[in-house]
Structure 1
Amino acid sequence: MPRGRGSSARPLLSNHQKSWLWGTLCVEETLRAGQWPIYELLLATESDQPIHRQIVEHAERLEIPIDRQPARRLEQLCKARDHQGVLALMGPFPYTSLARFEQQLTPQSRIVVLDRLQDPFNFGAIVRSAAAFGMTGIVIGAENQVQVNSHVARSSVGLVNRIPIVRVESLGESLRTLQQAGCRFIAARQDGEFRLGELFAETDFAEHPLAMILGSEAHGVSAELDRLCNGSVRIDMAEGVESLNAAVTAGILMYSLSPLTNLRSES
């Protein structure tokens, strides 16, 4: 993790205004992980709760500069009132490379692929569920896809630090690379051929790394990625309900695929 204030040319998460991360749990989790560069920490003058003292201890251990400012100044910097008395100035997010991720795959690996997801709060909620349900990692594209930013990190409660997130230039090419490594793909669709719990009755899915592809909120899974899939899965719902929020859909499907649960087909 970079130490000190450094030069004005240091790379930031985004522009200066959008490179602040705030909230006690999110910042504490990020400091504890020690992977995402933090250049500077700002604490509100009156912030002296146990969580603030833990944050200061982490920052001092990592030799990150700490400054005290009035709470109003923190609000001006992050353009939010819910900063909880702490701001961190962030460098670029440390995405995992596809090559490194591929080396870690096993037949039990469970992967989430996001195809052009636009809402940062959906993305953050998906990251949180992926970490909770033991997913191996998340793969996203570099274009037409929200990247890891402060809103994503806050929505995940800092859990972007606990699960590998792979960013690739081309999802199609990258999935073909994973396919050659033995990975199987399943698309989340309203008319999917498999119900929850049925996938592991299929030997082809049970004996290979499995990636679930979730499409954009507006357009679903792209035709290019759909052609790479070995099947599709659906969530049965009450009559008259057409769809679920992307993050809710992802959470239900991840639970069904999770190595931490026993949700399997009875057949």
Structure 2
Amino acid sequence: MQGGRGSGRASTGAVRLWGRHAVEAALKNPDRNHRKLWATREGVASLDGELPSDFPVEWAQPADLARLVARDAPHQGLVLECDALEDVFLEDVLDGDPAHPVVVLDQVTDPHNVGAILRSAAAFGACAIVTQDRHAPPESGTVAKSASGALEVVPWVRVVNLSRALEDIAEAGYWRIGLDGEGTATLAEALPAGPVALVLGAEGEGMRHNVTQHCDAVARLPISRTVESLNVSNAAAIALYAIATRG
């Protein structure tokens, strides 16, 4: 086996994905340029559908695959190397549909959290997630595994200036709601009938001041006082459910 043995890193300009859901979703994504699949025969058999006869596959043992990914990564017999997805632009994803909120993440850097938020965004019909390029994880196998296939279906917009992006989102007709435990209103009280941009900050630090200033409202989730806060991915899931089920 060649190409990054033991490093857990992909070739230059490529992303290495692992696990059945992440790999299967990437294989089904027509916007992905696939380079190579390392797999066990059991791993390929677990996929939904058959690979093209000319697809580049290198058969391997589980121990060999473990050397191609991050330590203790649950590869499930599948490791796919592919090109990163093409850049997505904000103006191309804002459809103004109240049923499709946009999720804005301010310095949420943990790839597991971003992946989990992508999964919730897919589950509740969000039109995109938006992050600042310098303060978000890169596209990676960890993000894809946590997203369980959602990385391939939810547009991920990376911007240079998050405050400017929030201005563009407002101009597109979205009501920007920042989530903060100190918000005076609950999320249910702050939700409008129209399109919503949900803004979440990093755990502990929360939203930066300038980002908060670019929100139309700051709201809280009505959690018990016995708990200081929720994990940002859990908060995102609850908030997206609230948006999807508002009256």
TM range (shorter): 0.7 to 0.9
Give the one of 16, 25, 30 matched to 1:20: 16
Q: Deviations over 1:179-234 (max 9, x none)?
A: 2222221100001122132234xxxx323x21010001231111111111111111
Cross-structure match for 1:251: 237
- TM-score by structure 2 length? 0.87
Give the one of 99, 102, 112 matched to 2:91: 99
Give the one of 41, 60, 76 matched to 1:69: 60
Cross-structure match for 1:236: 222
Task: Give the conservation status (yes or no) of the 8 Å contact 1:194–1:233.
Answer: yes
Task: Give the conservation status (yes or no) of the 8 Å contact 1:193–1:231.
Answer: no
Change (3 A) 1:19 1:49: closer
Instruction: Tell me the secondary structure at the aligned position of residue 47 of structure 1.
Output: helix
Give the one of 175, 178, 190 matched to 2:181: 190
Cross-structure match for 2:142: 151
Deviation at 1:166, TM superposition (A): 0.9
Deviation at 1:122, TM superposition (A): 0.8
Task: Give the conservation status (yes or no) of the 8 Å contact 1:187–1:214.
Answer: yes
Change (3 A) 1:42 1:117: same
Change (3 A) 1:161 1:227: same
Cross-structure match for 2:82: 90
Change (3 A) 1:71 1:108: closer
Task: Give the conservation status (yes or no) of the 8 Å contact 1:123–1:247.
Answer: yes
Task: Give the conservation status (yes or no) of the 8 Å contact 1:110–1:211.
Answer: yes
**1:139 equivalent in alignment to 2:126:** no
C-alpha separation in 2, matches of 1:160 and 1:131? 9
Q: Deviations over 1:43-97 (max 9, x none)?
A: 12x4266424x46x24x17x53111122221111114452111110121133421
Instruction: Tell me the secondary structure at the aligned position of residue 178 of structure 1.
Output: helix
**Corresponding pairs, count:** 238
Q: AA paired with 2:216?
A: N
C-alpha separation in 2, matches of 1:138 and 1:48? 30
Aligned 1:207-222 pairs, distance under 5 A: 207=194, 209-222=195-208
RMSD over aligned Cα atoms: 2.3
What runs of 5+ residues in structure 1 fail to find an aligned partner? 1-7, 9-13
Change (3 A) 1:95 1:257: farther
Deviation at 1:15, TM superposition (A): 4.8
**1:199 equivalent in alignment to 2:184:** no
Q: AA paired with 2:35?
A: Y
Cross-structure match for 2:69: 78
Cross-structure match for 1:181: 172
Instruction: Tell me the secondary structure at the aligned position of residue 42 of structure 2.
Output: coil
Give the one of 35, 40, 48 matched to 2:36: 40
Change (3 A) 1:20 1:109: closer
Deviation at 1:25, TM superposition (A): 1.8
Percent of matched pairs sharing the same residue? 29
Q: Deviations over 1:73-124 (max 9, x none)?
A: 111111445211111012113342112123x333544111000101111111
Give the one of 42, 46, 51 matched to 1:51: 46
Change (3 A) 1:194 1:37: farther
Instruction: Tell me the secondary structure at the aligned position of residue 178 of structure 2.
Output: strand
Change (3 A) 1:142 1:48: closer
